[in-house]
Amino acid sequence: MAEVRLIEVREELLAENRQEAGDIRAELRRHGVFMLNLMSSPGSGKTSLILRAVRALKDSFRIAVIEGDIDAMVDAEKMVREGIPAVQIRTGGACHLDAPMVAAGLKELDLAALDCIIIENVGNLVCPAEFDTGAARRAVILSVPEGDDKPLKYPLIFSVCDLLVINKTDYLEGSDFDVEALRERVHRLNPGIRILSLSCRTGEGVSEWTRWLAGEIEAFRNK
């Protein structure tokens, strides 16, 4: 019987994904294309938030969308109607997008003709948090009807994002959603995170979101 021996690995579990994400990041850097990975639960407003950004910024920046949501066919059509390129990733019902899926989506886009790509990830607060897609920035939306306790239940996603958008603030009145408690819960996980409150329905606060995105696109290009 051969002797048991130890091999030191000390490698990330998702090393393969991380490698591919690094390749994507390098390619986008070469082309000066800013990519945002947008995540949230289903129905919290990813598509609406993207449409708001596209309408406000499409004269200033060339934007494309990678759709990962399971019912994204509808979402992709909405984007095309706005006149912007949209690629739909067939996730086969997968719960998240990973770097190889995004790499396949990028092949469908002309990177030389773009300034910004927004990934609409699969609606889910758990799995997308674990997978680096090669995006320069990550954002998560939490809508008011979901409740202020989500960072307690899904801490990882709030700890890895650069931006938190609190959407559907038009539902705040009469609800027990505590914005201050939410801020504290998120800040202790991630002190550097930017937090914006808005309503895609009424438009209140939306300009903060489009200003943030425009600033990130500019900053990336001038880096």
Partner 1 sequence: MHELAVTESLLQVVLRHANEGGAGKVVSLSVRIGGLSDLVNEWVQRYFDHLSRGTIAEGAVIRIERIPTTFRCDECGHVFPADPRTREAIRCPLCSSAEMTLATGRECFVQQIEVV
Q: Give the helix/strand (H/E) hosting 88.
A: strand 86-88
Binding flags for partner 1, 176-215, as an x/- string (CB under 8 A): --------xx--xxxx------------------------
104, 113, 152, 219: which one contacts partner 1 (CB under 8 A)? 152
Q: How far is the CB of 221 from partner 1 (least distance, A)?
A: 29
- Cα(116)–Cα(215) distance, integer angstroms: 12
Give the angle 140-145-150 at the CA atoms, nearest 5°: 50
Q: How far is the CB of 183 from partner 1 (least distance, A)?
A: 11
Stretch of 8-16, 50-58, 78-86, 105-113 contacting partner 1, by CB under 8 A = 8-16
Which residue's CB is nearer to partner 1, number 111 or number 189? 189
Which residue's CB is nearer to partner 1, number 57 or number 160? 160
Asked if residue 103 binds partner 1 (CB under 8 A), the reply is no
Which residue's CB is nearer to partner 1, number 8 or number 59? 8
The interface with partner 1 within residues 23-82 (CB under 8 A) comprises none
56, 70, 95, 214: which one contacts partner 1 (CB under 8 A)? 95
Can you tell me which residue has the tokens 């939490």? 142
Helix ranges (H only) for 58-136 are 72-81, 99-106
Q: How far is the CB of 134 from partner 1 (least distance, A)?
A: 16
153, 173, 174, 223: which one contacts partner 1 (CB under 8 A)? 153
CB environment 29-61: b (16+ within 10 A), e (fewer): eeeebbbbbbbbbeebbbbbbbbbbbebbeeeb
Distance of CA 208 to the CA centre of its chain: 17
70, 94, 111, 179: which one contacts partner 1 (CB under 8 A)? 94
Instruction: Report how far apart, in Å, the C-alpha atoms of 174 and of each of 169, 171, 195, 200 are.
Output: 11, 8, 22, 19
**β-pairing verdict for 86-88 and 34-40:** unpaired
- Cα(39)–Cα(128) distance, integer angstroms: 7
Asked if residue 107 binds partner 1 (CB under 8 A), the reply is no
Q: How far is the CB of 126 from partner 1 (least distance, A)?
A: 5
- Which candidate, 151, 150, 149, 121, places its Cα nearest to that of 135? 121
Binding site for partner 1 (CB under 8 A): 1-17, 94-96, 98, 126-127, 130-131, 149, 151-156, 159-160, 184-185, 188-191
